[in-house]
């Protein structure tokens, strides 16, 4: 029964996030007149499904780790001659429904529609949370500084109010730890307000192994301060639609920017690769978070949605970003890349994706104590 507490929330979350992603592709495909034969949640053998009046088969499949939208006459067209050969197979009415005959900008929007839908979903979720649950605006006032800590050595003092970390505005006590741990540099720049005067400090955090709020072992960056809300009361405010959306867009951008910096640090050999996780770790965290209620579950859904949208934009063949990369070459060269060149790129993409899957699965199993 305990494993179901992880699997069920994970499948619900993944189904929603994948559906939204694929619907982004579907929406733009239908908008530009491309025929859609299949809209699938999951891979493998079909479990159940229905046909709509437009001829699309909406279905759930056995392996719920993704999904796809299949276009009418779907195939890879690598050259103009192959495209001409393909067109001969269809009458004039059916040709208009083919993806390959659409202008480059329409094909690009159809491909980009999936990641775009994921970012929009995250913004909607954060907006909903800030409107109905509220957003914290408790000032980040330092109440305690550990002796001989990085904060102590830098000159931070009790009653300093943290206003910025690495040029990011701090509007809540809850944001301090997030921004310190999000940095990919050795040092963090912290600005504080002291006696109505703004001061700046460069601090090198310490890395320690600790447990997060869910009991999982994680590496944390600490500077040796304790922040407590005034009179132990948090200033949580329910926002109006416009203000809630403003902060929702900001949170989505922050997560996107932080993820990109982390990926960049990985390529530079500075990032902590042990923090990369796959489906097993995501399922575990989703199940743990779901126990804290709807708001916590929606929050993790927003973060996963951003991650899915962003990862799909990486210029790796087999992902949406890989297709967009090919379209960029097509725009520059005035014609699609040759079949041989594209097949070479796809082999590289397949190798990279399998390597990433193997590495994240290894991390997941190690996290479970199996290695």
Residues serving a catalytic function are 22
Q: Look up residue 53 and give its two tokens.
A: 């009046």
How many other C-beta atoms are found inside a 10 Å radius of the C-beta of residue 198? Answer: 11
Q: CA 162 to CA 169: how far, in whole Å?
A: 9
Torsion of the alpha carbons at 167, 172, 174 and 179, rounded to the nearest 10: 0
3-state secondary structure of 183: coil
Q: By three-state DSSP, how is residue 191 classified? A: strand
**Which is nearest to 172 in space by CA: 263, 239, 241?**
239
Task: Cite the beta strand spans of the chain per DSSP E.
Answer: 36-51, 57-71, 135-136, 140-145, 161-165, 168-169, 188-194, 197-203, 206-211, 217-222, 225-227, 236-237
Instruction: Residue 285: name the closest of 7, 20, 19, 67 by CA.
Output: 7
Of 51, 48, 76, give the one whose Cα is nearest residue 62.
48
Supply the angle between the helices 294-312 and 279-290 in degrees, to the nearest 10.
160
Measure the CA–CA gap between 304 and 302, rounded to whole angstroms: 6
């Amino acid at each position: 029964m305990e494993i179901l507490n992880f699997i069920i929330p994970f499948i619900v979350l993944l189904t929603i996030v994948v559906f939204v992603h694929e619907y982004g592709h579907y929406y733009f495909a239908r908008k530009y007149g491309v025929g859609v034969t299949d809209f699938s949640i999951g891979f493998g053998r079909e479990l159940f499904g229905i046909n709509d009046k437009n001829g699309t088969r909406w279905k759930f499949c056995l392996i719920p780790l993704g999904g796809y939208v299949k276009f009418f006459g779907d195939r890879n067209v690598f050259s103009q001659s192959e495209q001409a050969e393909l067109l001969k197979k269809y009458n004039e009415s059916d040709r208009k429904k083919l993806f390959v005959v659409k202008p480059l900008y329409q094909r690009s929007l159809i491909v980009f529609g999936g990641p775009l839908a994921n970012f929009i979903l995250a913004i909607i979720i954060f907006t909903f949370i800030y409107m109905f649950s509220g957003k914290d605006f408790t000032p980040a006032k330092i109440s305690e500084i550990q002796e001989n800590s990085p904060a102590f050595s830098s000159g931070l003092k009790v009653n300093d109010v943290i206003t910025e970390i690495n040029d990011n505005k701090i509007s809540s006590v809850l944001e301090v730890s997030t921004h310190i741990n999000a940095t990919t540099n050795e040092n963090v720049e912290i600005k504080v307000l002291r006696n109505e005067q703004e001061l700046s400090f460069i601090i090198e955090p310490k890395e320690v192994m600790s447990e997060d709020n869910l009991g999982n072992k994680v590496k944390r960056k600490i500077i040796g301060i304790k922040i407590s809300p005034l009179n132990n009361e948090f200033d949580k405010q329910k926002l109006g639609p416009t203000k809630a959306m403003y902060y929702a867009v900001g949170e989505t951008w922050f997560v996107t920017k932080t993820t990109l910096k982390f990926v960049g640090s990985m390529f530079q050999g500075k990032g902590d690769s042990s923090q990369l996780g796959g489906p097993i770790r995501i399922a575990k965290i989703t199940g743990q978070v779901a126990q804290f209620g709807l708001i916590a579950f929606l929050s993790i859904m927003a973060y996963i949605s951003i991650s899915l949208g962003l990862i799909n934009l990486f210029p790796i063949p087999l992902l949406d970003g890989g297709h967009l990369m090919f379209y960029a070459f097509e725009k520059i060269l005035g014609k699609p890349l040759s079949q041989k060149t594209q097949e070479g790129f796809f082999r590289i993409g397949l190798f990279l994706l399998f390597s990433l899957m193997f590495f994240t699965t290894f991390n997941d199993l190690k996290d479970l104590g199996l290695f």
